[in-house]
Amino acid sequence: MDQKFWDERYLETEQIWSNNPNPVLLEHATTLTPGRALDLGCGEGADARWLAGRGWQVTAVDISPVAIDRARALGDEPAITWQQADVVVTPPPSRAFDLVSLQYFTMLKTPGDLGVRGIIDAVAVGGTLLSVFHEIPDDREHWHDLDPHDFYEPHDIGQLLGDDWRIDIDRTQARTTAPPEGAHHTHDTVLLAVRLS
C-alpha cells in the first residue's frame, strides 16, 4: 500500500470518503485542549478541517499527492498545513504535537519498528496519541491479498510505548457509524495514550 497504490485508489473516483470526521476522533478530541495536531493519512481532509475548526493548528499528511491536492481543493484553511510525505521514510518532527491522530492509517510492520517509533516520538510531553483501525476482518479481499497481520494495529503500537506513557484505552469496540460502502467492519480497535514525560 505505497504511494502508487493510494494514488490509483483515489483516481478511481472523485471522492472516496464521506467528508465527515471520524467518530472516534470526535469522541476523544472534543475533550482535549487545542494545540498542535498531526493528522496522519489525512486523505481528503475531513479530520483536519474538523480539528482546525476547533482551534487546532494541524499538519495533515498523506502519502498520496492526489489525496493532498483533493483536500486542498475543498477549501483553503490557514490553520492547516497540507503535506505529501511517507512518514516511514521522513518521520515527523520529534515531540512536536499535542495530538497525533492515526485514523485507519495503514502501515506495514518493519524491522525495528522504526517508522512507527518515529510517529510515537512525534507526540509532545502531555500530548495524546490516538490510533483507530478496523478489527482485522476474516475476508482477505479487503486486503488485496496481503496479510492484515503484517500491518500495525493500535494494540501493536501500544506495546511499543514505554514507562513514560499512560494508556487510557486499548480495546475493541463496536463502530458507531456504518462502515464504508462495500465494507463489512462492525468493530474498531482503539488506542488512546498520553505521554507523561
The pLDDT value given to residue 174 = 72
Strands (E), 17-148: 36-40, 57-62, 80-84, 97-103, 123-134
Of 182 and 33, the structure prediction assigns the larger pLDDT to 33
Phi, psi of 127 (to 5 degrees): -85, 170
pLDDT per position as a tens digit, 131-165: 999 766 555 555 556 677 788 999 999 999 999 99
Share of the chain above pLDDT 90, in %: 64
Give which of 74, 122, 68, 118 is closest to 96, Cα–Cα.
Answer: 122
pLDDT at 142: 54
119 touches 92 (CB < 8 A): yes
Instruction: Say what the pLDDT of residue 126 is.
Output: 98
Q: What is the mean pLDDT of residues 65-92?
A: 92
Residue closest to 177 by CA, chosen among 188, 167, 168: 188
Tell me the pTM.
0.87
Output the pLDDT for position 166. 98
